[in-house]
Each structure stands twice: as C-alpha cells, then as structure tokens.
Amino acid sequence: MKKIEVQDVCALLGVFDMPTAVRFYCDVVGFEIQNRSPTYAIEGGVEQFHWCMLKTDHARLMLNTAYDEGQRPAKRPAQAEDPFGVWLFFGCPNVDEAYENLKSAQVDCQPPQLAPYGFRTLSFRDPDGHGITLQSPVSS
C-alpha cells in the first residue's frame, strides 16, 4: 500500500463565542486571521461569523462556532475539566517572555516548568477550556 503524503496538520476547535476566541488567539497568542466566513450578524457593534483560519509564520488553527445561528445559549455552558480532551502544543522559542505576556493579559497560568521529556513548558487554557502548552527544547 502506498503511503499518503501528509504535509502539515491544522486543528479545528469549537468555540462558544467567536469574537472572544479570535481576540484571545490573535491579541494574546499571536495569530492573525487568514480567512473567515461571512458576517451573519452584528451584535453590539461586533461582527459575528462562524468559521476562521488563523495563522502565524509557522502554525495554523481553525475555529468554528459550536452553535449555529440562533442556537447559542445566552450563557456559556460549564467547561469540563478533561485533562486530555483537546490540548495543543506549540513550539515557542521564549516561554519566559510568553509567560510575562500571558500574565499581563491576565491569562491564568503558572510559571514555565521543565518537563521530564526535556522541554521548558508553559500551559494554560483558552476561553473555551482548550489546553495550550507553549514549549521549547532545553539546550544540552
């Protein structure tokens, strides 16, 4: 059997509130919108849309609303504490600087740690509870 040629991977995350998720991933984590679906409504002066592709120089991430138009509950459902549901690991050359940026953005996270597999790591959750770890190999 011939192997399938896979060139990269892009995760798709379901989000409760697209503008909140986009602000988090763009303003805090450093992505920018590469493409997005059309605006379906404007609420409080903020455009609402269902899908977007975010990118950095080295990574891509898709976001999609968890609810269709008119079906989203007024209140965000409680987030499950599933330790391995969705957890993204991003390479990050300076996790200490990232930690300072996250603290200034009031993101709940602990200081960077040394993982048993030889990486300096910094873990936190996005507004929808998806786990994120920024990591950098420790020089030997």
Identify the pLDDT of residue 84.
Answer: 60
Q: Taking the CB of residue 59, how many other CB atoms lie within 10 A of it? A: 17
Identify the pLDDT of residue 80.
Answer: 64
Identify the pLDDT of residue 89.
Answer: 93
Q: 123: which residues sit within 8 A by CB, 6+ positions away? A: 109, 110, 131, 132, 133, 134
Q: Phi then psi for 57, rounded to 5 degrees? A: -60, -30
Identify the pLDDT of residue 73.
Answer: 83
Residue type, 12: L
Identify the pLDDT of residue 45.
Answer: 95
Digit-coded pLDDT (tens) for 78-121: 766 556 678 899 999 999 999 999 999 999 999 999 999 999 99
The token pair that represents 82 in the structure block: 């599933």
Domains of the chain and any CATH numbers: 11-65 (3.10.180.10), 87-137 (3.10.180.10)
Compute the average pLDDT of residues 119-135: 94
Average pLDDT of every residue of the chain: 91
Nearest residue to 122 (alpha-carbon basis) of 29, 53, 31: 29
Identify the pLDDT of residue 77.
Answer: 78
CB 64 within 8 A of CB 51: yes
